[in-house]
A and B are shown apart, each in its own frame.
Chain A
Amino acid sequence: MGLELTTKAPMLQILDEEGQVRPGAEPALAPAELRRIYEIMVLARTADAKALKLQRQGRMGTYASSLGHEACQIGTAFPLRPEDYFFPYFRDLGAYLTLGYPLADYYHYWMGNEAGLRTPDGLNLFALAIPVASQIPHAVGAALAAKLRKKTGAAVCTFGDGATSEGDFHEGLNFAGVFRTANVFVCYNNQWAISTPRSRQTASETIAQKAGAYGFPGVQVDGNDVLAVIASVREALDRARAGGGPTLIEAVTYRMGHHTTSDDATRYRTEEEVKAWEPRDPLRRLRIYLRSRGLSDEASEKGVLDAATNAVEKAVAEAESRPPATVDDLFAYTYKNMPPALAEQRTGLKEALKAEAGR
């Protein structure tokens, strides 16, 4: 007897907490690529810290920190090709930077301007979703469109552990399984959904095992190990592109900061728990690894940090120098062709604002 109820395979790890690699397991990455990954990680961390600082100064809106998620985010986005699609959620700074989204735009959006969410032409990066899990079916639709249009691109979608409780998660993954779409679903399992622990989201042992019920593979990887994330996403992308259907990747990580700047995590989790994750830091691991391979040293690391700091300062200055949306902007994108009654409302609002300014 003893039916095996779970399908738990060991979590994939390549780069351990001490920065040591499992021999032979490293994904093929040229030295320049490894250095690039490190640069983006440093940039992401610097940009994130700056956003938090700006928020405290009243120069940034409510902000969701990506601290601790760098390996998940960068590792997920790094293997993409230009013809692929990315469907992010609100905690994806590292992915945005990896895909070449201008940091000034990212800041501009989080400062409270819709213009910052307009993806530059030529980049298949969908607008980040705030309603939890709502982006998952979109990614399936993009992959289905690619399939029907005989295109080669695969669609990657990210979301949190909390998202796996929503109907959209189940419906999206079910469509993907049924239509064998070229999708890679990456769950950043950071253990918390605001104050709700992972154990309250699902009674299954892993999130990865949910894939089995939809008829495709699921794997659990160390989400603080950028090499493991890259290796698993690459493998999933290769399978997707070869017509092998979707994959669910559960990247196990930890939300090192508060949920957002409006949250106070001390109300519901212990400092010890947070402390226990500090040694698993994704950035530190990669730094040790690069040094051990002779790909970096103290001087080059300082250079990377200085470049990141400069880039961040430039982006802040640029984002802050942009004017806020005009009344015309607020109305212009409601319809392709503006109905006359809406144009009248626009005129009315302009007049009201003029009168109010003169008061």
Chain B
Amino acid sequence: MKITMAQALNQALAQEMARDERYVLLGEDVGPDGGVFRVTDGLIQKFGPERVIDTPLAESGLIGVSIGMAAFGLRPIAEIQFLGFIYPAFNQILSHVARLRNRTRGRYPVPMVIRTPYGAGVRALEHHSESTEALFCQLPGLTVVVPSTPYDAKGLLIASLRSEDPVIFLEPSRLYRGEKQDVPEEPYEVPLRAARTVREGTDVTVIGWGAMVPVMEKAADEAAGRGVSAEILDLRTLSPMDREAVLASVRKTGRAVVVHEAPKTCGLGAEISALISENALLSLRAPVARVTAPDITIPLPKAEDDYYVNPARVLAGILKTMEF
């Protein structure tokens, strides 16, 4: 059946919660409201208020409590209403979620999934549009996952829920109600730490994730019209990254363009560029290009389009790399 990403995520949650009683969902407005993007719609009716818990408005408490639950028998699924409001909990994530397995020499791992919408393009208020995924990729022990299609959203979320490591699952708000896709009714996993080749190409590798993937596809269509064959790679798991997929593609095409909606400096593009230069320098026919937002605070809606990475900018990056 063709469904949206929000519906696919809802399905994944419902199926895993039905399969295993240890899953407990908690967050602000996840109960009768079904979450502000309706991803948890209907779950409190299915699983009751002991497994779908509306919490007080307190992110540090929400994640801290989830840690205790995860350490002692449950599998919490914590929803942070927007990535922009995760920072009160950053201490818990950095100091404990990411490193408890290490700190306790494996005695107290905390398998949990922290789900949160992120990214621009929905004309939201301040603090609702940032793309700070790179902050979380700096935390050893944490797995950072971003889906770009309904199919992947369901499979990646199920894989995350079954992971023995804590996962931060970043859901691009712009894609929640984007293009619908055929998604199998039965549960399935899309493996973590594995990138997806969205389309094959021979001249240049375009690497991105989340809401940038459809933007990259449009740019690749335009590039094709100009005789440039672009291969598109969707990272899906940002950390630990599928380095082999990146390197194999770049060794084949000899060129790389990294695309992200986050600001340029110290964004994940820098890591990918370094990875390529460390491991595939002699395959390169042009410097690795980065197409990103500038290093400024994301504007409010009226100027958001000026800021947001669009197909034209990705195309310009591709062409610049080709012309080098």
> Do A352 and B313 contact each other (CB < 8 Å), given the known contacts A163-B57, A166-B88, A330-B303?
yes
Does B202 have its Cβ within 8 Å of any Cβ on chain A?
no
Task: Kindly state whether residue A28 has any CB partner on chain B within 8 Å.
Answer: no
Provide the residues of chain B in CB contact with A165, threshold 8 Å. Answer: 56-58, 61
A132 contacts B by Cβ under 8 Å: yes
Q: Is the CB of B57 within 8 A of A196?
A: yes
A325 to chain B, nearest CB (A): 4
B84 interface residue (CB < 8 Å to A): yes
Pairwise interchain contact B302-A324, C-beta atoms closer than 8 A: yes
- Pair A196/B54 contact, Cβ less than 8 Å: yes
Residue numbers in B under 8 Å from A331 (CB-CB): 294, 296
Residues of A within 8 A of B304 (CB): 112
Interface residues of B in 28-65 (CB under 8 A from A): 28-29, 31-34, 36, 54-61
Decide: B125 and A130 in contact? CB cutoff 8 A. yes
Which residue from A166, A267, A325, A341 sits with its C-beta under 8 Å from B299? A325
Question: What's the Cα separation between A327 and B307 when bound, in Å?
Answer: 9
Is there contact, CB below 8 Å, between A131 and B125?
Answer: no
B31 partner residues in chain A, CB cutoff 8 A: 195, 268
Quick check: is B123 within 8 A (CB to CB) of the other chain?
A: yes
Q: How many A-B residue pairs have CB under 8 A?
A: 120
Is B302 in contact with A325, judged by CB distance below 8 angstroms? Answer: yes
The answer to whether A62 and B58 touch across the interface, beta carbons within 8 angstroms, is: no
Nearest B-chain residue to A350, judged by Cβ: B306
Are B303 and A166 in contact, with the CB atoms below 8 A? no
Contact at B306–A330, with CB atoms within 8 Å? yes
Contact A267–B33 (Cβ < 8 Å): yes
State whether A324 touches B294 (Cβ < 8 A): no
Given contacts A162-B57, A165-B58, contact A345 B302 (CB under 8 A): no
Q: Please give the distance in Å from A250's CB to the nearest CB on chain B.
A: 16
| Cα-based distance from A194 to B81 in the complex (angstroms) | 11
Whether, in the assembled complex, B124 has its beta carbon less than 8 Å from a beta carbon of chain A, the answer is: yes
With both chains docked as a complex, state the minimum distance between the C-beta of A173 and any C-beta of chain B, in angstroms: 15
Complex CA–CA separation, A50 to B58 (angstroms): 33
Residues of A within 8 A of B29 (CB): 194-196
Residues of B near A349 (CB, < 8 A) are 294, 306-307
Report Cα–Cα, A162/B34, bound state, in Å.
18
A325 nearest CB neighbor, chain B only: B303
Question: How many whole Å from A118's CB to the nearest CB in chain B?
Answer: 13
Cβ distance A29 to chain B, nearest Cβ, rounded Å: 35
B312 touches A193 (CB 8 A): no
CB-nearest residue of chain A to B56: A165
A39 in contact (CB, < 8 A): no
Chain A residues positioned under 8 Å from B28 (CB to CB): 193-194, 196
B312 touching A114, Cβ below 8 Å: no
Once the chains are docked, how many angstroms separate the CA of A133 from the CA of B59?
12
Asked if B72 is an interface residue, CB under 8 A from chain A, the answer is no
Shortest CB-to-CB span from B138 to chain A, Å, is: 22
Chain B, residue nearest A165 (CB): B56
Report chain B residues within 8 Å CB of A262: 36
Residues of A within 8 A of B33 (CB): 194-195, 267-268
Q: Is the CB of B56 within 8 A of A200?
A: yes
A338 to B61 CA separation, bound complex (whole angstroms): 38
Check if B32 sits within 8 Å of A267, measured CB to CB: yes
Answer whether residue A123 sits at the interface, using C-beta atoms and an 8 A cutoff: no
> Of A61, A166, A201, A341, which contacts B301 at CB under 8 A?
A61
Of the residues A62, A194, A201, A268, contact of B125 by C-beta under 8 Å: A62
Q: Does A9 contact B (CB under 8 A)?
A: no
Given A267-B34, A355-B312, A355-B316, the answer on whether A334 and B54 have CB atoms closer than 8 Å is: no
Contact check, B32 vs A268: say whether CB atoms are below 8 A apart: yes
Closest to B297 in A: A334
Question: B302, A342: Cβ atoms under 8 Å?
Answer: no
Interface 0/1 of A235-278, CB less than 8 Å to B: 00000000000000000000000000011000110000000000
Task: List the A residue with the shortest CB-CB distance to B41.
Answer: A267
Verify if A95 is at the interface (C-beta below 8 Å from B): no
Q: Are B307 and A330 in contact (CB under 8 A)?
A: yes
**CB under 8 Å from chain B, chain A span 300-359:** 324-325, 327, 329-331, 334, 341-342, 345-346, 348-349, 352-353, 355-356, 359
User: In the docked arrangement, what's the CA distance between A330 and B294, Å?
Assistant: 10
The distance in angstroms between the C-alpha atoms of A345 and B32, with both chains bound, is 45
B295 within 8 A of partner (CB): yes
Nearest-Cβ distance from residue B42 to partner chain A, whole angstroms = 11
Cβ A167 vs Cβ B301 within 8 A: no
In the complex, whether A111 has a CB less than 8 A from a CB of chain B is yes
Is B310 part of the contact surface with A, judged by Cβ < 8 Å? yes
A327 and B88 in contact, given A130-B126, A268-B33, A352-B312 (Cβ under 8 angstroms): no
Other-chain contact of A195, B32, B88, B312 (Cβ < 8 Å): B32
Determine whether B270 belongs to the interface, using a CB cutoff of 8 Å to chain A.
no
**Given A166-B57, A196-B57, A202-B56, residue A342 in contact with residue B313 (CB < 8 A):** no
CB distance B300 to A113 under 8 Å? Answer: yes
Residue of A nearest to B125 (CB): A62
* Beta-carbon nearest neighbor of B123 in chain A: A61
Listed residue (B303, B310, B316) with the most chain A CB atoms within 10 angstroms of its CB: B303
User: Known interface pairs A62-B123, A331-B296, A346-B294. Does A112 touch B58 (Cβ–Cβ under 8 Å)?
Assistant: no
The 4 closest A-B pairs by CB, nearest first: A112-B301, A195-B33, A165-B56, A162-B57
Residues of A within 8 A of B (CB): 61-62, 90, 109, 111-114, 130-133, 162-163, 165-168, 193-196, 200-202, 262-263, 267-268, 324-325, 327, 329-331, 334, 341-342, 345-346, 348-349, 352-353, 355-356, 359
Provide 8 A-B residue pairs closer than 8 Å at the C-beta atoms, listed in order of the A residue.
Answer: A111-B302, A165-B57, A193-B57, A194-B28, A324-B302, A342-B295, A353-B306, A359-B312
Which chain B residues have a beta carbon within 8 Å of chain A's beta carbons?
Answer: 28-29, 31-34, 36, 54-61, 84-85, 87-88, 123-127, 264, 294-297, 299-304, 306-307, 310, 312-313, 316
| Additional A-B contacts beyond A325-B303, A327-B306, A329-B303 (11; CB < 8 A) | A61-B125, A112-B304, A113-B303, A131-B85, A132-B85, A196-B28, A196-B54, A200-B54, A267-B34, A349-B306, A349-B307
